[in-house]
Structure 1
Amino acid sequence: MTTTPTVVLVHGAFADAASFAAVTRLLLDDGLTVVVPPVPNRSLAGDAASIASVVRQVDGPVLLVGHSYGGAVITVAGAEENVVGLVYLAGYALEKGESLGELQGRFPDSDLADALVYRPYPVEGQPDGTDVYVDVARFPDIFAAGVEPRLAEVLAVSQRALAGAAFGEPAADAAWRSKPSWGLVASEDRTINPDVERFGYSRAGMTVREVASSHLVMLAHPDAVVDLIREAVRATAG
């Protein structure tokens, strides 16, 4: 069995697996095994269970990498036995029992707060749920500054919504308490207040790096992201 971890890249809200395209290419060029699963973005418990099922199917160690809301997802899914480390990219490092709303509520709102759009979606046998999007016109500046403008426009109209209920759902676990963790702060983030990232990372005792980037750091600064993932791979291999 290989001792080099498989890198599982977990996207967040308002994005999908394609947001990791540049990072994936660089990691594959390194000869690493990479998996980039879709996240349903329906509930924190359900999304974590979905990623945990992917992790359990990997024969060997796993390094989980989560961007944004994906950080909350790996915080819970990272409790799987074969997860050997966690990497947070402009992400939420929740404490057990803490919700996204509670962690964000400790700090001033980002520019995202007044750029959100709410739309209903059907739930079989229940009242409609609420999907949350970023206003398409404001998406490039708030979410994807530094990304090639024509690509940012495509991302804006193809964003994957997050169910509003996920913001208030408590994390069932905090895997960073038992797994080595790394965190990348996007210091020019207008989607998540960078101090939310710094607080969560510091509380978890992570190895922390900062980059002058917007929220979509994987496309704006893929080299910085890959450097941190490589560091985590070296530290957890074998």
Structure 2
Amino acid sequence: MSDAKPTIVLVHGAFADAAGWAPVTRILLDQGFPVIVPSVPNRTLSGDSAYIRSVVEQIEGPVVLAGHSYGGAVITVAGVAESVTALVYIAGYALTEGESLGELQGGFPDSDLAAHLVQNTTPVDGPEFTVETAAFGEVLAAGLDPKVAQVLAAGQRPLAAAAFGEAASVAAWRTKPSRAIVAAADRTINPDVERFGYQRAGIEHVVELDGPHLLMQTHPAEVAKVITDAAAL
């Protein structure tokens, strides 16, 4: 049996890119893990999941998939790839088959995010959303240095409206060991949405952190620990 560490693939969510994972990426690299942080197109759930699955299937050896926010929905579908040994949800959506982001969120009161979305139109993908720059620090990046929040706001990757309404085709948590983190002070996703999804998925190892949506920035050591615990499964 090989002692090689699994590759950890970190999947960002809406209004984000690989930079949001930077503190956790550094910790994992320092611990000797191979790490890949791909850029998610944020166009459709099926397309984004297919892309991440293609990344996973080109990696030699086992893979741990960690998804933040919308990235949780992506790993729920992409995680059925044979080489995936574990899933980790960080303030993320754990959808079930036939369920969309809009349907899961619709069962709970809106977070602060809903009032601060900006809609734009693209020539190919139709409507897409970003977060008001002035509200980004308060809603998504609470607890961060305001200058860091400004940089993250400037680098937002928009989410196409189509991604909100598309249902998950599969739920990888049914067959893959999973761990999860709730952001108890989340103002982007209602924390009860996170709790409900994790409970429904039967995830036994759930950590609650008293932090905002971008836990990878505010609590990188704790997030990395949950990921490395999953890697040891």
Q: How does 1:1-16 map to 2 (within 5 A)?
A: 4-16=5-17
Matches of 1:98 and 1:18 in 2, distance apart?
Answer: 29
The answer to whether the 8 A contact 1:3-1:61 is kept is no
Write the letter of the residue equivalent to 1:136: T
Write the letter of the residue equivalent to 2:85: V
Q: CA deviation at 1:4?
A: 2.8
Matches of 1:169 and 1:227 in 2, distance apart?
Answer: 32
1:225 equivalent among 198, 219, 223: 223
2:123 counterpart residue number = 122
Q: CA deviation at 1:2?
A: 5.3
SS at match of 2:43: coil
| CA RMSD, Structure 1 to Structure 2 (Å) | 0.9
Matches of 1:32 and 1:158 in 2, distance apart?
Answer: 26
Q: CA deviation at 1:154?
A: 1.1
1:177 equivalent among 150, 158, 174: 174
The answer to whether the 8 A contact 1:75-1:176 is kept is yes
> Residue deviations 1:163-199, cap 9 Å, x none?
0110000001100000000110000000000000000
- Point out where structure 2 has 5 or more consecutive residues left out of the alignment: none
- Percent of matched pairs sharing the same residue: 61
1:215 counterpart residue number = 213
2:58 counterpart residue number = 57
Write the letter of the residue equivalent to 2:17: D
Q: CA deviation at 1:148?
A: 1.5
2:153 counterpart residue number = 156
Q: CA deviation at 1:210?
A: 0.6
Write the letter of the residue equivalent to 2:198: Y
The answer to whether the 8 A contact 1:119-1:130 is kept is yes
1:101 counterpart residue number = 102
Q: CA deviation at 1:40?
A: 0.4
- Point out where structure 1 has 5 or more consecutive residues left out of the alignment: none
The answer to whether the 8 A contact 1:2-1:60 is kept is no
Matches of 2:71 and 2:126 in 1, distance apart?
Answer: 20
Answer yes or no: is 1:146 the counterpart of 2:147.
no
Number of paired residues?
231
SS at match of 1:101: helix
Matches of 2:100 and 2:3 in 1, distance apart?
Answer: 36
Matches of 2:83 and 2:4 in 1, distance apart?
Answer: 11
Structure 1-normalised TM-score?
Answer: 0.95
Q: CA deviation at 1:132?
A: 0.5
